[in-house]
Structure 1
Amino acid sequence: MTEQKNPRIDAKLMQAWAQQCLQQAGATEPVAAAMAQHLVAADLLGFRTHGLMRLKYNVDCLQQGQTKPSGEPRVISQRGALELWDADLLSGLYVMPQAVARAIAMARDYGTGTVLVRRTQHVAALAVYLEQAVAAGMLIQMMCATPGQAVVAPHGAKSAWFSPNPFAIGAPTLSDPVLFDVSLSMTAAGKVRKALAEQQQLPYPALITAAGDYTCDPATFVQDPPSVLASLGGELLGYKGSGLNLFSELWTLALSQWGRHQEQAGLDANTVWIQVIDPSALGASEAFQAQAQALVDGIHQCTPITASQPVRIPGEGALARRKQQLQQGIEYSPQLLHQLAKLGDKLGLDLPPCL
């Protein structure tokens, strides 16, 4: 029996449609354009749980007043190459490119630039902002935390304190850039909800039940009391992920002076730490990129465990996936297309046709 393929839709059409949906929900044109662009960018790279799967969430937040439809972030404090912003609940999809651009500008002047952004509505996939700095020949690292969310347990605990806390880096080479985006929990909450919706088990024990047992069952995540996410490293090595989660929240929540005691529980607003480094401050940019390329080449030359599965660089698969989907259309599951079509019906906007 031939395996049925998921439908595909042209990326530009999907982005234009998503922008219309967001404008219909109240966002101004520039805000809606940035939101749609970065949601579709996540789909193109393969970050499905942070792409148009989150469109309804963003529409709902706009309609319910949880996300501001217009405005600009405020600079709270600034010293040299370090700034603190308050986004006042503007969409992170709109604010993040501005913050990265500011960090790049500071790096040109000082060799490095750091921007902390607090109270920005959900930023989605950090990976989609990395290439903005890489294209300028710079390195970038980002961390994100959610002060109103506690779903990740410290190692040795069965109750939660941390948010999933994604961490991402981008670096230029002489070939494709290195793009790395990972959650500091064993998995992201969105992936648990996706597995639950698709009635599938998680591929490894990423959850800790109220009894303190590690499990692959996503249904425990919605039980009463619910399971919680394990820190990266799991049952045996979770002390590493627990330390990294503390690192993330010190650099985001503590430095921004907006932590769990200020934020109302259950809100999805993020705090993001962004740092950009200009390698030309330390020598020729070409020398850095040559060194970076040598590191990448060395990884590629390592002997794979399975001959048919060569060792890959972080971001390699995502960039190949984007290239294919730009040519062939973005692949969407029938379930997601059904949800998007229902959203479009409510807003009076027909979903673009499948290819």
Structure 2
Amino acid sequence: MSRAPTRSSACVIPLPEIRRFVVDCMMAVGTPKNNAEKLAENIVEADYRGFYGHGLNRLAIFVGEVQHSVCNVVGFPKVLKETPATAWIDGNNGFGSVVGSFCMDLAIEKAQKVGIGLVVCKGSNHFGIGSMYTAQALKKNLIGICFTNTSPLVAPPRTRSTVIGTNSISMAAPGMNADSFNLDMATSAVSRGTIEMQQKKHLIIPSAWADSGSGALCPLGGTETNSSYKGYGLAVLVEVLCGILSGGAYGSNIRMLGSFDKLADLGHCFIAIDPKGFATGFEGRLSDLMETLRRTQPIDPKNPVLIAGDREKLHMKSVDQAGGVTYTRDQLEASAKIAKNLRVKPLQPK
């Protein structure tokens, strides 16, 4: 029988405290402070935006990767091949957050010079939420796009065998008055992190999310009748741009997240585009489109039409009002266990 978390089973943790805790934990296993801070920034932003599956929920895996020597805590990206608009990068098995930030910065630099930058890397690790990197381009008034391949958790239509990842897609584009379009989505029905959070809340896993027998995640669409072949196609599209183009691991060759038997060798793809290279007035037209969509008559007046990024903005506002991120008791207990094992100060509630 499922049950939802109650107020007594949850606790509010301020953002600076989450950041402090993550840095302390990563430094306790030998991570240099600057890299620990980069990872902490990614984890905190994920929970702040409401992507709980990619936030503090992932800390134990990051710690484990370092302890099992399958992630290079001092690894830094290296440019292998470069043109004015493109670059091929070796992540040198560094933290995905470090590799991703480097690659998008390089894509931005190229876009500012020649109008577009496309950077592909191999040899990376889990990079968290894609919107971290598209936000880098957004801050420069550029369109940012990024993709990543992931562990083979998804079964294509007509099989229960997991051979492709939840391969995510993210895009950010600037509108007027600091408004923006911010898409960040898995190509599976839900991410693995969403499944994990559902389990921690003791809630039922819908059949359209995962196969109850094998545990395989479903492509976006859930079933073939509901067009899961489209989600599957998008997942392969991402794989082509990440694993195949980069020369890194791909498909079922990728290490399962949470196992430490080999290097992950993940591939990412980052694109930055300068709208000024095209028709003038991009920001105004985008804002007009977004407002048109938001003003569309909703079926239920209590649930207005949203665009990509609006849910995250609402969640961030709620976090600000609460004074921090609200974690379930299970999440707090897992963090307390990590703190005890690493002999660091545990999370301090608000």
Q: TM-score if structure 1 supplies the norm length? A: 0.89
Out of 183, 187, 190, the position equivalent to 2:190 is 187
Letter aligned with residue 155 of structure 1: P
1:280 aligns with 2:276: yes
In structure 1, distance between residues paired with 2:127 and 2:51 = 13
Corresponding residue of 1:348: 343
C-alpha distance in 1, partners of 2:51/2:181?
Answer: 16
Partner residue of 2:306 out of 306, 312, 316: 312
Does the 8 A contact of 2:254 with 2:265 survive in 1?
A: no
- 1:106-132 CA distance string (max 9 Å, x none): 000010001112121111111222211
* RMSD across aligned positions (CA): 2.0
Is residue 168–residue 179 contact of structure 1 (8 Å, CA) maintained in 2?
yes
Instruction: Tell me, yes or no, if the aligned pair for 1:122 and 1:269 is still in contact at 8 Å.
Output: no
Answer yes or no: is 1:178 the counterpart of 2:181: yes
Q: Percent identity, please.
A: 23
Deviation readout 1:222-280 (Å, 9 max, x if unpaired): xxxx3312211121111211211221111111111223489564354421111110111
SS of equivalent residue, structure 2 residue 120: strand
Residue 150 (1) aligns with residue 152 (2): yes
Q: SS where residue 95 of structure 1 aligns?
A: helix
- 1:184 partner amino acid: T
- Distance in 2 between residues matched to 1:4 and 1:193, nearest whole Å: 20
AA at the equivalent of 2:237? F
Query: Which residue of structure 2 lines up, in the alignment, with residue 212 of structure 1?
Result: none
Question: Partner of 2:111 in structure 1?
Answer: 107
For residues 204-223 of structure 1, the aligned pairs below 5 Å read 204-208=207-211, 217=212, 220=213
Deviations along 1:283-316, whole A, 9 cap, x unmatched? 54xx110011001011011110111111111111
* 1:200 corresponds to: 203
Q: How does 1:32-71 map to 2 (within 5 A)?
A: 32-71=36-75
Rate the CA distance shift 1:261–1:178 in 2: closer, same or farther, 3 A.
closer
Distance 1:281 1:155, change over 3 A: same
SS in 2 for 1:311: coil
Q: Is the 8 A contact 2:248 2:266 kept in 1?
A: no
Residue type of the partner of 2:12? Answer: R
What SS does the corresponding residue of 2:249 show, helix, strand or coil? coil
Shift of 1:340: 0.7
**What is the number of residues matched between the two proteins?**
335
Residues of 2 paired with 1:256 and 1:53: CA distance?
A: 28
4+ long deviations beyond 6 Å: none
Query: 1:264–1:305: structure 2 CA closer, same or farther, 3 Å change rule?
Result: closer
Counterpart residue number, 1:248: 238
Q: 1:54-96 deviations in whole A, cap 9, x for unaligned?
A: 1111111112111111131111211221111111210101221
Given that residues 123 and 270 in structure 1 are in contact (C-alpha distance below 8 angstroms), is that contact kept between their aligned partners in structure 2? no
Cα pair distance change 1:344/1:238, threshold 3 Å: same
Superposed displacement of residue 204, structure 1: 4.7
Do the aligned residues in 1 keep the contact of 2:254 with 2:266 (CA within 8 Å)? no
Who is 2:35 aligned against? 31
The equivalences for 1:80-119 within 5 A come to 80-119=84-123
2:267 maps to what in 1?
Answer: 271
Work out whether 1:165 is the aligned partner of 2:161: no
Give the match's secondary structure for 2:31.
coil
Q: Give the stretch that moved more between structures: 243-252 or 324-333.
A: 324-333
Establish whether residue 232 from structure 1 lines up as the match of residue 220 from structure 2: yes
Is 1:130 aligned to 2:163, yes or no?
A: no
In 2, are the aligned partners of 1:114 and 1:275 still within 8 Å (CA)?
Answer: yes
Q: 1:183, CA displacement in angstroms?
A: 0.7
Residue 319 of structure 2: aligned partner: 325
**Most deviating of 3-12 and 180-189:** 3-12
TM-score by length of 2: 0.90
The structure-2 alpha-carbon separation of the partners of 1:160 and 1:263, relative to structure 1 and needing over 3 Å to count, comes to: closer
> Which runs of no fewer than 5 residues in structure 1 stay unpaired?
209-216, 221-225
Give structure 2 stretches of 5+ with no counterpart.
1-5, 257-261
Contact 1:10 1:326 in 2 (8 A): no
Of stretches 196-205 and 11-20 in structure 1, the one that deviates more from structure 2 is 196-205
CA distance in structure 1 between the aligned counterparts of 2:75 and 2:115, rounded to whole angstroms: 30
Shift of 1:349: 1.5
| Correspondence for 2:286 among 292, 300, 325 | 292
C-alpha distance in structure 2 between counterparts of 1:261 and 1:152, whole Å: 10
Letter in 1 for 2:193: G
